[in-house]
A = this chain, B = another copy of it.
Amino acid sequence: MSRTIHLALHPYGVGGPGQHGLWKDPSIAKNASIDIDYYIRQAELAEEALFDALFIVDSQFINATYPAHYLNRLEPLTLLSAVATHTRHLGLVGTASSTYNSPFNLARRFASLDHISRGRAGWNVVTSFDTGAAQNFGLDEHLDYAARYGRALEFVQVARGLWDSYEDDAFPADVERNVFLDPSKLHALDHVGEHLKVAGPLNISRSPQGQPVIFQAGVSEEGRDLAARVAEGIYAPGGGLAQAQEYYADIKKRTAAYGRDPDHIKIFIHGGPIVAPTEEAARRREREIFAEDDDFDRNLALLGRSFGAYDFSGHDLDAPFPDVAHLAERGGRTGAQKIIDRARAENLTLRQVAQSVREFRRSPFVGTPQQVAGTIEEWFAAGTFDGINLAFRTEAELTAFVEGVVPLLQKRGLFRTAYEADTLRGNLGLPIPENRYTRERRLANEPEGAAR
């Protein structure tokens, strides 16, 4: 089978980054972000369209300047559990922080979602770059970058260890022999590491996928390294074709360098397609959306978010961009450093920097259905992605893509015409990891030669 494209849907309710005015759209319910029926509807549309997954972002800190969807939304795991029983094929990927959760609780909740969905759970691991989040969890100081990534790696390893607590055949439930559990198939992890100490075992059995699928969004050196080590799906940063090619090749190479099959890490790029009957109409719509979201105060707050929700409003707007390098390490380091570098190189004032910061992510996929399908094919052939994470503003936009573009991709053999499987692993072409204890026993029992 030739390679095909994976598609995920990323619903933003009343409006995420770059969509601050979206709640005013009359087709969007004012409470969409806390209305489970909105999410069930989005999931049903995504499943009808044969998409791979529903993707739910998250954060643990807000103030009044945040996008409408961030201010008031459902928690991802409870949300996805409710969606699970209304779908049968769609993957359910929830974001959760490895900095502000405990591995026992979080591993358990994802395993529970994997059972409830019968094998469709995915975990998007984030380290939380909002420094304000620390104060919601009893800490004065946000963990620094290295500690957050060190903990993230160890956290995923511990979660996977906990997911292996029971071997697949741990519960014979044999009435005649009076054996419900075979205790030799229950294993405590007894993990003691630099950041975490977790005994186990977990109180839930191996789920249909063996282990939920790990997603990540590595951009920095640490982020890319973490992705290459443990991720099975990636939400790639934005950028042009050349940047996307560089990122794609780099991640696949790093993954192979860790002895992993580079096909077992699926790279999703962000796509907010704008599809219209004519190219001119699509470009006009793009300009409208861009203009809608121009608000200086909001951009100043947004700028602050890259530096850990720092409040820039006390600074002189027309003086040179202030020295905030010390804040970059604790915030979203890579993005923050880029802003500093550019301000210095171009000698920009704070006002100029704030004006240039925009959440709107320009999509390469703008035009008629034919044009958008063509650009998708071109980017895919150029080695820029395995999948697209699709964000639409309205249901009408989603429908325009599904009815206009998807059939063209299918005709070109680039997208499925039926689900391959009932599990997320199955649809993404990812293997089910063998239980570590089962594997140990199998290897120990194999004849010398075969063990290689």
Contact = CB atoms under 8 A, between A and B. Distances in A.
Given A82-B82, A137-B102, A171 B204 contact: no
Interface stretch (A63-71, A242-250, A264-272): A63-71
Interface stretch (A178-186, A254-262, A347-355): A178-186
A171 B72 contact: yes
Contact of A203 (B59, B82, B171, B197): B59
A88 interface: no
Interface string A66-89: 001011111101110110111000
Contact of A78 (B78, B101, B166): B78
Nearest to A115: B34
A24 interface: yes
Contacts of A111: 75
Nearest to A195: B138
Contacts of A79: 81, 112, 116
Given A198-B138, A199-B132, A205-B72, A116 B78 contact: yes
A283 interface: no
B81 A78 contact: yes
B14 A199 contact: no
Given A72-B205, A75-B108, A137-B104, A180 B82 contact: no
Interface string A93-125: 000000011101100110111011000000000
A82 to B, nearest CB: 5
A24 B175 contact: yes
Q: Which of A82, A109, A135, A171: most chain B Cβ within 10 A?
A: A82
B72 A166 contact: yes
B81 A199 contact: no
A207 to B, nearest CB: 9
A383 interface: no
A321 interface: no
Interface string A185-203: 0100000000011111101
Interface residues of A, number: 64
Given A109-B75, A136-B198, A199-B135, A34 B204 contact: yes
A166 to B, nearest CB: 7
Nearest to A71: B181
Contact of A136 (B74, B115, B200): B200
A229 interface: no
A372 B198 CA distance: 47
Contact of A62 (B23, B137, B201): B201
A134 to B, nearest CB: 9
B138 A78 contact: no
Interface string A226-249: 000000000000000000000000
A109 B198 contact: no
Contacts of A68: 180-181
A85 B40 contact: yes
Given A75-B109, A85-B86, A113-B78, A60 B104 contact: yes
23 contacts: A23-B173, A24-B175, A36-B85, A71-B186, A72-B204, A73-B203, A74-B112, A74-B115, A74-B204, A75-B111, A77-B109, A81-B81, A82-B82, A82-B84, A85-B85, A85-B86, A100-B102, A101-B105, A102-B138, A132-B199, A135-B199, A136-B200, A138-B196
Nearest 4 CB-CB pairings of A with B: A135-B199, A81-B81, A64-B183, A75-B112
